[in-house]
Amino acid sequence: MASLQTPGTQGSAPTKNPELLAWVAKMAQMTQPDQIVWCDGSEEEKKRLTELAVKQGILIPLNPQKRPGCYLHRSNPNDVARVEHLTFICTTNKEDAGPTNNWMEPESAYTKLSHLFTGSMKGRTMYVVPYVMGPLGSPFAKVGVELTDSVYVVLNMRIMTRMGRAALEMLGDSGEFNRGLHSTGDLDPERRFICHFPQDNTIWSIGSGYGGNALLGKKCMALRIGSYLGQHEGWLAEHMLILGVTSPQGETTYVAAAFPSACGKTNFAMMIPPKEYAGWKIETVGDDIAWMRVGPDGRLWAINPEAGYFGVAPGTNTKSNPNAMACVARDTLFTNVALTADGDVWWEGMDGEVPEELTDWQGRPWKKGSTEKAAHPNSRFTAPMTNNPVLSPKANEPMGVPISAIIFGGRRSNTVPLVLQAFNWTHGVFLGATMGSETTAAATGKVGVVRRDPMAMLPFCGYHMGDYLQHWLNMQKAIAHPPKIFQVNWFRQDKNGKFIWPGFGENMRVLEWIVNRVHGRVPTEETLLGWVPRADQGLNTKGLDLPRESLTEVTSIKPDEWKAELKNQESFFESLGLKAPEALTLQRKLLISRLES
Ligand code: GTP
Ligand code: SPV
Ligand code: MN
């Protein structure tokens, strides 16, 4: 690879793309790796890198009788979740990042991080990881290249994206690509930064090996850079699952749903309906990210840019999510779960008896009854989507699927009712914009605090939140046949702090109502918040194990709670300043007047 003139480079680069070659050379000059390895995505490469990771103690092989092809990774205990306070949008003007993002001026960010990256790969290998986000051959797919010194990242990217030769083929000799530079650095949180340069299509991430901070194709590229591109190019990059629901009559309806991190996307995307729904089928297109564009038919079409699932382990069991359990049966990487004596994995909320003894996520002995969690609350699995028994046949469809309904759902122990339908697109955008949710372990910080999380994009919007909401409003003009918009909340609690709604597969009852509304089949009742299921011809409760009072409670709208909620929404809109879309502040006023009358 003489063109790169990088000492120790292995073999010749499998591309002639001059931009790519020059950039790799420049980054290598700064980070000074011992060698550069270009990843091709082959089975041989997977085997070689897995063996290396095992030799270095990065991966622990699991019992092949129980988990064939599976490995456990234990991260540094200080590096277990996304770090929102260390995540930056670096645009020339601070205003473009908006009040909900941390901002750094691009030149000073490059300078600051250059110091950290200089020599950061000494004694290490730089892997060049070309990847495609989106189905191969899709006009909506995008190429990225991640340079990383973490073999764990390479093996995860191999599952989560279409990685290797296919990406270089798509890129060709002159194509545009996202430039991702990643080094685990010294894992000191003081020297950890996740910086995005949307104007340069560039991401620099240092000091963390954790999913959302280090697998740059996912949140950094597909959402933060993606949302920026979406605003410029007239499409939407969203924190949404995509599923297809097929009735016994064979009618398939596609739905996209935005729930914040660790609030139920993976579960909803692969749910198994209760027995009363024999003949119905749910199929997964995606469980975390949707890229949506207007098709020639005037409908909104969605692709899942990912190829795997980076899912929350705790709480996953054969009752709550049997399909996810099938996904992790083989060829899966586990991060920060507990290890059983016979070389299997375990986490809180798994089926069966709690084992007497385990090795916890930090590698320490653990005994049943311990007050500490054996698996980290944000422990995760990385599984290929091809493991999913209910993978949609459209998951690789270049055009994606047409979306008939968009659902917004937060984690709210009170206030927000089980389900409602927006009166129209603008009202639907208002419902998404005013989403609140209790924080979870997916990001570092306090858990269980309600915060505004518009469209579940608070941590992932790569530009000004006010402009983002305006972009959503503007999309209406472009979509001749817009999806209907809904809001759900699976997380209402009773006086004892217990979830009232049974959730998981039982969410099918709510989904059926949504599908019926999409096709104009059931009447509704109007409330001040939106349309809700009627007591008759509403939710199908046949076989539902829930007392009538509980159903009333979970669907109730309490004016006092809504007065407090509206105050909170006001501060949110105020924080957007002049960029708070007028159409939305007007929606708020209308709601206030409905509440007062
Ligand atoms: P990210 O991967 O972080 O974006 O999260 P996600 O939205 O895919 O979350 P996931 O489906 O993994 O759910 C995470 C948590 O929500 C787990 O603790 C689940 O048990 C819980 N959960 C999911 N669905 C339901 C539900 O319908 N009801 C209740 N009560 N909990 C749920
Ligand atoms: C989330 O936090 O929303 C995730 C996991 O899906 S991560 O990839 O870390 O962002
Ligand atoms: Mn997510």
Tokens of 198: 């949307």
Is the pLDDT at 2 greater than 90? The verdict is: no
The residue whose CA has the least distance to atom 9 of ligand 2 is 212
**Ligand 1 atom at shortest distance from the alpha carbon of 239:** 4
Is the pLDDT at 244 greater than 70? The verdict is: yes
- Residues, CB-to-ion distance under 5 Å, ligand 3: 261, 288
- What pLDDT was estimated at residue 218? 98
Write the pLDDT tens digit of every residue in 330-342.
999 999 999 999 9
- What pLDDT was estimated at residue 12? 79
Q: Which residues are catalytic, by number?
A: 263
The annotation places the binding site for Mn(2+) at 219, 239, 288
Integer Rg of the chain from CA = 24
What fold characterizes domain 310-387?
A: Phosphoenolpyruvate Carboxykinase; domain 2 (2.170.8)
Is the pLDDT at 1 greater than 50? The verdict is: no
Work out whether the CA dihedral 54, 60, 65, 67 comes out positive or negative: negative
**Ligand 1 atom at shortest distance from the alpha carbon of 316:** 20
Give residue 218 CA to ligand 3 midpoint distance, Å.
Answer: 9
231 Cβ partners below 8 Å, 6+ apart? 463, 467, 468, 471
CB of 211 closer than 6 A to ligand 2?
Answer: yes
Distance CA 173, CA 380 (A): 37
Q: How confident is the model at residue 6 (pLDDT cuts 50, 70, 90)?
A: very low
Write the pLDDT tens digit of every residue in 492-511.
999 999 999 999 999 999 99
**Ligand 1 atom at shortest distance from the alpha carbon of 502:** 28
Mean of the pLDDT values across residues 255-277?
98
Work out whether the CA dihedral 181, 308, 507, 252 comes out positive or negative: positive
Q: How confident is the model at residue 11 (pLDDT cuts 50, 70, 90)?
A: low
The segment(s) of the chain belonging to CATH 3.40.449.10 are: 2-58+82-233
Q: How confident is the model at residue 451 (pLDDT cuts 50, 70, 90)?
A: very high
What fold characterizes domain 2-58+82-233?
A: Phosphoenolpyruvate Carboxykinase; domain 1 (3.40.449)
* Closest to 28 in 3D by CA, of 120, 166, 96: 120
CB of 82 closer than 6 A to ligand 2?
Answer: yes
Give residue 288 CA to ligand 3 midpoint distance, Å.
Answer: 5
500 Cβ partners below 8 Å, 6+ apart? 492, 493, 494, 546, 550, 553, 554
What's the one-letter identity of residue 347? Answer: W
DSSP string, 471-531: HHHHHHHH-SSPPEEEEE-S--B-TTS-BSS--GGGHHHHHHHHHHHHTT-S-EEE-SSSE
Give residue 212 CA to ligand 2 midpoint distance, Å.
Answer: 5
Q: What is the ipTM of this complex?
A: 0.99
Q: What's the CATH architecture for 238-308+392-596?
A: Alpha-Beta Complex (3.90)
Mean of the pLDDT values across residues 543-562?
96
Distance CA 338, CA 336 (A): 7
Distance CA 510, CA 197 (A): 40
The annotation places the binding site for GTP at 262-267, 380, 411, 504-507
Is the pLDDT at 5 greater than 70? The verdict is: no
The segment(s) of the chain belonging to CATH 2.170.8.10 are: 310-387
Write the pLDDT tens digit of every residue in 381-430.
999 999 999 999 999 999 999 999 999 999 999 999 999 999 999 999 99
Terminal Cα distance for the chain, rounded: 74
Give residue 261 CA to ligand 2 midpoint distance, Å.
Answer: 6
What percent of the chain is predicted at pLDDT more than 90? Answer: 97
The segment(s) of the chain belonging to CATH 3.90.228.20 are: 238-308+392-596
Cα torsion 361, 364, 370, 376 to 10°: value is -10
Which ligand lies nearest to the CA atom of residue 321 in the structure?
1
DSSP string, 34-99: SEEEE----HHHHHHHHHHHHHTTSSEE--TTTSTT-EEE---TT-SSB-GGGEEE--SSHHHH-T
The residue whose CA has the least distance to atom 14 of ligand 1 is 262
The mean predicted confidence, pLDDT, of the chain is 96
DSSP designation for 190: G
CB of 238 closer than 6 A to ligand 2?
Answer: no
Buried b (16+ CB within 10 A) or exposed e, 542-551: eebeeeeebb
What percent of the chain is predicted at pLDDT more than 70? Answer: 98
